[in-house]
Chain A
Amino acid sequence: MSYVVEGSSGPWEVVIGLEVHAQVVSRAKLFSGAATAFGAEPNTQVSFVDAAFPGMLPVINGVCVAQAVRTGLGLDAQINLVSRFDRKNYFYADLPAGYQISQYQHPIVGAGSVEIELADGSTRRIGVTRLHLEQDAGKSLHDQHPGKSYIDLNRAGVALMEIVSEPDLRSPEEAGAYLRKLRTILRYLGTCDGNMEEGSLRADVNVSVRRHGEPFRTRCEVKNVNSVRYVMQAIEAEAKRQVAVWEDGGTVGQETRLYDVARGATRAMRSKEDAHDYRYFPDPDLLPLVLDAAWVAELGRHLPELPDAKRARFMRDYGLPAYDSAVLVAEQATADFYETVARGRDARLAANWVIGDLFAAFNRTGRGIEDSPVAAAALGELLDLMADGTINGRIAKDVFELMVETGEAPGAIVESRGLRQVTDTGAIDAAIAAVLTANADKLAEYRSGKDKLFGFFVGQTIKSMAGKANPALVNEALKRALG
């Protein structure tokens, strides 16, 4: 059954659309030569253009244009060869010009889509309405002084891609999956670093509720939610609020709200109380943005393999299950790591090691794929040692732990610690003889028909050889010994 909010009068469907603001990866700002790096001293990455000083003019950064086009291509979207910049006029302390340069009527990217995977294994295609380029605002600090707000313009003018979804999402889970998937795609493309804590990716969440089969009801916009978890919580809280309003006989008014994390509830935004009339018009300081079709095609040819394609390939070429593939492609770096390990080796075994042992090591050490305690080449070498019989699977687990602890290469660990698998049949025969002697009672039981004890003898033999015996050889020798 699909997600509903149970009201006192029955179930309500939730309708969600996301407007995601993704900070473009570029050195300089969209319309000025000031830097975009995060965490600089206040007001040090500001040009007079960003601060809207008299006579200052915008000049567009070509890399930001390319990044928007690449993102559009990655979302299977229409690329508009002619687009235009408009001014969105409103007064705010951190909006120096009194307008934001944005793309209203003619965005650079039109309709596209994102495929999301849900926990039950199903997939849904979510429509993307458009993507446009615009400037970020500065930052207001409200807690530095009892009577004043402080303005830092470092972020003012940084390029953003606003990616608007269709109202196709129907649950917090779907919204979360959409946002995560979008983030993955952006990171693959290298067009946004996806860092939500630093504000590189922020979502405005449009939420409305309706009874099954009804047309859309009025929506509210919850602004600037900065984590997947909070997006999901905000949707739930806002949907419940709206259901309560409707069921009380009230009316939900279109408004801008904020999600209060501490209270787990949304509230109306004071500064957005007066309905805005943005007076959009074409920015006369800028000319139409015209793209060359051949240039767009060239960008398309150099697009990296994106997560959906990669996942399909992993399933096809490596024979991996859908779930494992999805886990491995969630981050480009993980997928690359996996492929380095898997290349020329047992691909499913490689997947088990990455998803199982490697991820467990990340959890234990607090590290991740970018600073992995074990390099992909080293893990590959470990797999090779197993494949050529140098060590067995049990010893491999120990070697891996030592690799994590010491950073040493698996071959060196095996040699220095004498972990090489024993393949000397004489030694194995001797060990078997000792085990059979020590377990005369079990041997008698076996001979009287308790076949299951065969495994017991294998285990005892390997154990007696400190785990280093080759299990296949032990099997063979034991069969011979037990005749």
Chain B
Amino acid sequence: MLDLSLAQVRTALRTRKVSARELARAQLDAVAALNPRLNAFITVTPDLAERHAAAADAALARGEHGPLTGIPLAIKDLFCTEGVRTTAASRILDTFVPPYESTVTANLLRDGAVFLGKANLDEFAMGSSNMTSAFGPVANPWTRTGDNRPLVPGGSSGGSAAAVAARLAFGATATDTGGSIRQPASFCGIAGIKPTYGRCSRWGVVAFASSLDQAGPLARSVEDCAILLGSMAGFDAKDSTSADLAVPDFAAACARGVKGLRIGVPREYRSDSMAPEIEALWQQGVGWLRQQGAEIIDVSLPHTKYALATYYIVAPAEASSNLARYDGVRFGHRAAGEDLIELYERTRAEGFGAEVRRRIMIGTYVLSAGYYDAYYLRAQKVRALILRDFTEAFRHCDALLTPTAPSAAFGQGEKMDDPVTMYLNDVFTVPANMAGIPGLSVPAGLDAQGLPLGLQVLGRPFDEETVFAVGAAIERAAGFTHRPSIRAGA
């Protein structure tokens, strides 16, 4: 039963083949069994799940149901949840219990979801491997064929992705600042969408880089993502950057097909260093879409190659300011200090891990007197050029197809020597954040070592429907039915 898709288990609940409580208990048992190995959850909330499930059963008994009534979900521990500890995987928030519920999670609760607990992540969502969590790394449920050494699930939404892939939840919330939904989706063989900037409210989500952060779902199918996004999204007057637009029927868009769509293949995403099997999978994806009636167009995004370096100015700059509030005064961890400055300095030195400290330092530096123009202002101008590239490309095509990540999942502890090596994980995903456009990762195949690889579909701002249509077409063609070795019921 835990192996069903979200859409399938929803039918099972509605037809009363299973009760929400039975489902929640089965799911919690699976979490209890596998979380010690995967470390996908920082906090498991069995009592909360029972309460939500009981409410769902009561609703179902009355013949009422929302889009998600009774569906067990994992919540990335970056979303504030009322009365439930929210850590951002940081020691500095190890004791923080929010007195409010984020808009996105409140929307999910409104629609009947059952919360299993808070999923692990890279500290403050800064990372591509989940190695930076103060609560320990997450293991990818997938392992290389004939090799049991733990691999990373990607990041920063690694706990969410691992939980969904290992059948510990039917879906999960995640956030994506530079690829944090799509890269872990690719590494864990599941689907995930970063919607258009402004589609999901950022209210109540611990901020990393405000102009880039966007919430989105992770799930085992494109349709499941569409169902979840339909609940998560929507205008929120509490977020000044929230778009006042109606939420389309994303799930319906999955069935549209791609006939007559023009799909752009950006030539700058191709490089000599790209792994041949990723290149091959990409070509395969192009072929699938062509077979289903799409027109394939060669497009150019000339500033793509600068997106990652731009990101590593913009994101740390915003983060250095966003994380100033973690000062040991009103909430969270506090270290002792003789005076206030010492208190601040010790609190923040102890409370933040190495990667977070590194990014705060970079961000502080690039904004500091004498360097602003050379770094931050220049980055904003390059960002304008990146957006202009996409705008131009979307005059000629309806969506873009690229690989999601430059590699499959790698081993825990690999790529840790040089920060830039780790940053390169996001080379294909970051441009969408810079431009604010939607991006979906779909599992499309396995590499030679038996690890999943994803393809990325990018779309026009607020045209997630086309993105879902293209993603679902790839999903159908790929027929990806592989499962990870570590999973509930295995």
Contact = CB atoms under 8 A, between A and B. Distances in A.
Instruction: Tell me if chains A and B make direct contact, with any CB pair below 8 A.
Output: yes
Interface of A: 48, 51-60, 87, 89, 91, 93, 96-99, 149, 151, 277, 279-281, 284-287
Contact of A52 (B88, B203, B239, B325): B325
Which of B79, B96, B210: most chain A CB closer than 10 A?
A: B210
A285 B100 CA distance: 19
A285 B330 contact: no
Contact of A98 (B99, B317, B325, B340): B325
Nearest to A98: B324
B174 to A, nearest CB: 15
A57 B324 contact: no
B207 interface: yes
Interface string B225-246: 0000000000001111100000
A54 B324 contact: no
A30 to B, nearest CB: 12
Interface stretch (B5-13, B22-30, B361-369, B441-449): B361-369
B187 interface: no
B330 A287 contact: no
A89 B325 CA distance: 11
Contacts of A60: 240
A57 B376 CA distance: 23
B114 to A, nearest CB: 22
A151 B329 contact: yes
Interface in B81-119: 86, 88, 93, 96, 98-100, 102
B206 interface: yes
Interface of B: 79-80, 86, 88, 93, 96, 98-100, 102, 202-207, 209-211, 237-241, 317-318, 320-321, 324-325, 327, 329-331, 340-341, 344, 364, 367-369, 372, 376
B330 A284 contact: no
A54 B80 contact: yes
A89 B367 contact: yes
A280 B367 CA distance: 7
Contact of B202 (A48, A52, A57, A87): A57
Nearest to B87: A54
B329 A57 contact: no
A98 B327 contact: yes
Contacts of B321: 87, 89, 98-99, 279, 281
14 contacts: A53-B325, A54-B331, A55-B207, A56-B204, A89-B324, A91-B324, A91-B327, A93-B329, A96-B330, A98-B327, A99-B321, A277-B369, A279-B369, A287-B240
Contacts of A57: 202-203, 238-240
Contacts of B376: 281
Given A96-B329, A96-B330, 16 more contacts: A48-B99, A53-B325, A55-B98, A55-B100, A55-B205, A57-B239, A59-B239, A87-B321, A89-B324, A93-B340, A98-B321, A279-B321, A284-B209, A284-B318, A285-B241, A286-B240
A279 B375 CA distance: 12
Nearest to B212: A284
